[in-house]
Structure 1
Amino acid sequence: MSLILKGFLLIGSLTADAFPLQSSRRPLVRPFHSLKSDEDGGFDPEFVHVMVNGLPGAMGQEVSAACLRKGMRIAPIAFTGPGLEGSIMVKPEPNCPDDQQVEVKLITGPPEGSGAGLEAINEFTAGLPVGHQLIIVDYTHPTAVNANVAFYAKNNLPFVLGTTGGDRELLMDTAQGKWAVIAPNMAKGIVALQAGVDMLAQSFPGAFSGYTLSVQESHQKSKADTSGTALAVSASLEKLVDTPFDTDEGITRFRGDDASKAFGVPESAMGGHAFHTYFLRSGDGTVEFQLQHNVCGRNVYAEGTADAVLFLSRRMAVDTNAPQVFSMIDVLKEGGI
């Protein structure tokens, strides 16, 4: 991951409500389960079973591997898209022994597969030892994310949501009062950067009055929606320029290989990358500030997602009667990643 800051000095402390998409909620409902603690007061990752919805996608496989490396277990079932049913072997490392691999059955997710999906989940959780926990990770598709969250909320299933897109306001309302971590970005460094930019915007609103904001972002061509990170950071930068920012007009997306290469993405990262550059330009064109963060691959997001799962399991054990929606800033502040 590379980061270039031109013109910005990020100082101060992180705020838990740094972005609308990262805001914490604190409603009350019954928790799904509580996690058993080990003798020294910590939590044994082996008690955490992770259902990775979005397999056999590349992000789902990366998250599965990261969870296995951190000692968690992968549930043998996962939601997938129509036509992708079957099974897949997930593993912590590419060349690991067979006994470290887990076979996962792929079933159609909500809304089409809600009945069969709930039956499979109930069958699996019924066989879990006392104190063990199922937590869902969702890296599915923008068109499926609202139906998925509605399913998780209705059935009191704790979840970590990395899928972007969908109706985010409806999504947050649906998740209210449930155990969840929801964030447009799961990478520690970028989360801290986002919080710093928001702190700057809150401390010095209008400091760049008269400037124009524009954004360029490139992802692998399989990403269907505009970058959630670009939307979140531009929302903070909008406060600095003190001018309404049209995300449709102001954010340029690169998805094809040729366009991404021209943007500076290396050939080796065509299958998975996230390059962002934000421009603040003065009205007369004599001054320009740039904020840039570039990521090749998916590992940094997968590791952060796995840490978010562990964070959620710990909070469920400590605050058993206080389910809420957390952000990755909450995870970062607690030292969970």
Structure 2
Amino acid sequence: MRYFGELKESNLEEMNFNDQNALLIERKIMTTVYAAPLNFPSVQSPSQDDEQNRDFKFIELGSRTVLRPEPNVVLTEKFKNELYFFLLEHYEQTLILLASIDNLKYSGEFVGISEGAEKRKITLHYFKKHFTELQQDIQLQMAYDPSIQELRPESYFDLLLRKRNAYIYKLIHQREIIINYVTGNKNYFTDMLINTNQYLYEVIQFEVKLKTLVSYNTIYNFQPNEHFTMYPHWDYAYNEFKDKLFSSPNGFEFLGLFIKSENDLNLAKLSCLFHVLNERELIKNSKSRFSNLLNKHFSLSFTVGEIRDPLISGNHIDKIRLQEYEKNLTAFLLARS
């Protein structure tokens, strides 16, 4: 967490709004962008003398008079993504619990139904139902598909990525959340906050439904999913590295679960894991990118040269590890098929 506690020693909470902005911009938490005003003058050749345009500011650009772009303070890409996915990780157990409760509502419909077409049909019904609830005020768009060189409707998950990105953008309006994060006040982020902060409440509700959709889709592959893993707080890391390093979410999820479950994580274990994932073609053979991922998103410190080939070492323990990881990976993939 690069920015958590970044301004712990400051008196940020005591500053006025503009002074807070100045400090947040200085520390690259916020930035200023310029855009044209949302309401444009109605005349073809704008003039400041026109009464209807008196609220607009103009500049001379060559021989033309144009609207002056307005400054707008926004969160930087790095910070807003870090903060949003911190919230998902911090409230991970809440998301899991609420998703489980959500699934229990419909579990009775599956009683006595074995795996097969009927179970898939029922699951598809609830898949569409959850998607409709999430879609609400956002419409499916057409997207260019290079494989067929034609426009096609975007997938459900393309749309839901846009919706998540909208929530990430709206963090700019959550000044209390921002201040408590950058001052390192983790005690602020209680379960009660979900009930008192409308933004956080909506995010949790959205992510619970999304988690359920991803779970259904992992089993039945209803829609193409290039954006979301089964573990929401890992999605940012996955999307950054999916084209560079991973051929599917399965490889990334197995890596994440491995790191999370290992108490005594070391270089030898990670080297064996890299070899197993590479042999299964779940990861591209790039030790530098693998090291970068570990350092950047899993708070591990390794250099490129440290990831080695366990087959060359001839170490008996490495051979046992390779067999164990291969067995675990096979079981993991079977559970996802």
Query: TM over 0.5: same fold?
Result: no
Q: Could you say which structure has the higher strand fraction?
A: 1
Bigger radius of gyration? 2
Q: TM-score, normalised by structure 1?
A: 0.26
* More RCO (CA 8 Å, sep 6+): 1
Q: TM-score, normalised by structure 2?
A: 0.26
